[in-house]
Amino acid sequence: MSALQDTLDAKAAVVTRFLERYFSDRLALQAVNKGIQPDMKALPALPPGLETLLRCIRYSTLQEGGKRFRPALAMMTAEALGFSSDRVLAFGAAVECVHTYSLVHDDLPPMDDDDFRRGQPTNHRVFGEAFAILGGDGLLSEAFRMIAGHYRAEPVACVQAIEELSLAAGPCGMVGGQAIDLRSKTEDIQFDELQVMHRMKTGALIRASAVGAAHLCFATPGQVAQIREYASSLGLAFQVTDDLLDYDPEKPEPGSYPTLLGVDQAKSHLATLTERCLSAIESWGSRAEPLRELARYNRSRMR
């Protein structure tokens, strides 16, 4: 596990440095010097509202404690396909921006109404609800600009990556899963619906991380299908493990796998999902071993 964790930590640090450069004050200064839009004259100084918005975005994007798991998965996929992890760094960072936007909005009072995230005050507690909404909106929009700006020279792969991420972020993905989750807090949810919710709410971005990276590395249709199956199963497997680790038989949480299936059946479901991960990329060779180790590690968290 230590070697895998070292790999994940190293990739997370690379992504953090990329995002720090991207959202640095220097970029804000360039916006002043060059004009915010091509048809606008340069401004003598950054308007206070825009300066606050940039600080709001940086606060959550660069917050300590973020695992950067999704971009790390994208980078591991690229390496498994024989490419440098740098090839998909910008794409992975874009996925992290979408993930961060979802956390900022999930913490708002109409959703989860959380006061802390990663041990620090949530974005809306620092900047107010209006700026938290705008900051999340800005991160979502900037993610697609990030992809377009870095991969426009390869339009087919670029469009495929954008399509994958937009599907994962929208009503057929993360937003739709959140809608199901909101309803599940007031009504009973069944196993099939729980699976759909997790495939959309948490699994979609995990899947997009790997599949989008595969597109950018010019994977064959067969390889895309294989990594899609791997990542889809991995997303569910992580959720099942988290539910098992959080399970309290004295206070069973509604809408969790052990509550719906029982502990033993939930563990069996985890084993099945893990085998699906491993089988999906069985033919990928030794370069895909870190991806296999990731699936095995998740299963080992229950031991």
Distance set, CA 9 to CA 5, 42, 67, 145, 195 (Å): 6, 40, 8, 26, 29
Please say whether the dihedral angle defined by the alpha carbons of residues 253, 182, 70 and 191, taken in this order, is positive or negative.
positive
The helix/strand/coil state of 122 is coil
CA distance 278 to 295: 7
pLDDT at 205: 96
pLDDT at 2: 76
CA distance 270 to 13: 30
pLDDT at 303: 65
pLDDT at 183: 76
Whole-prediction pTM: 0.93
For residue range 196-251, list pLDDT tens digits in order: 999 999 899 999 999 999 999 999 999 999 999 999 999 999 999 999 999 988 88
Name which of 21-25, 103-107, 240-244, 289-293 the model is least confident about: 21-25
For strands 116-117 and 120-121, give the pairing.
antiparallel
For residue range 54-98, list pLDDT tens digits in order: 999 999 999 888 889 999 999 999 999 999 999 999 999 999 999
Q: What's the whole-number mean pLDDT along residues 18-42?
A: 78
Domain coordinates in residue numbering, the chain: 2-300
CA distance 177 to 180: 5
* 3-class DSSP string for 51-70: HHHHHHHHHHHCCCCCCCHH
Arch. (CATH architecture) of 2-300: Orthogonal Bundle (1.10)
Q: Give the closest residue to 113 by CA, choosing from 140, 97, 132, 99.
A: 132
Q: What's the whole-number mean pLDDT along residues 282-298?
A: 95
Residue 180 or residue 86, greater confidence: 86
**What percentage of the chain has pLDDT greater than the value 70?**
97
On average, the pLDDT of the chain sits at: 91
pLDDT at 271: 95
CA distance 204 to 259: 23
Residue 5 or residue 233, greater confidence: 233
Name which of 147-156, 184-193, 287-296 the model is least confident about: 184-193
CA distance 268 to 263: 9
Residue pointed to by tokens 């950067």: 68
CA distance 204 to 208: 6
Residue 25 has pLDDT above 90, yes or no: no
CA distance 112 to 69: 22
Going by pLDDT thresholds of 50, 70 and 90, the confidence category of residue 181 is confident
CA distance 77 to 81: 6
Residue 170 has pLDDT above 90, yes or no: yes
For residue range 134-167, list pLDDT tens digits in order: 999 999 999 999 999 999 999 999 999 999 999 9
Q: What's the whole-number mean pLDDT along residues 262-279?
A: 95
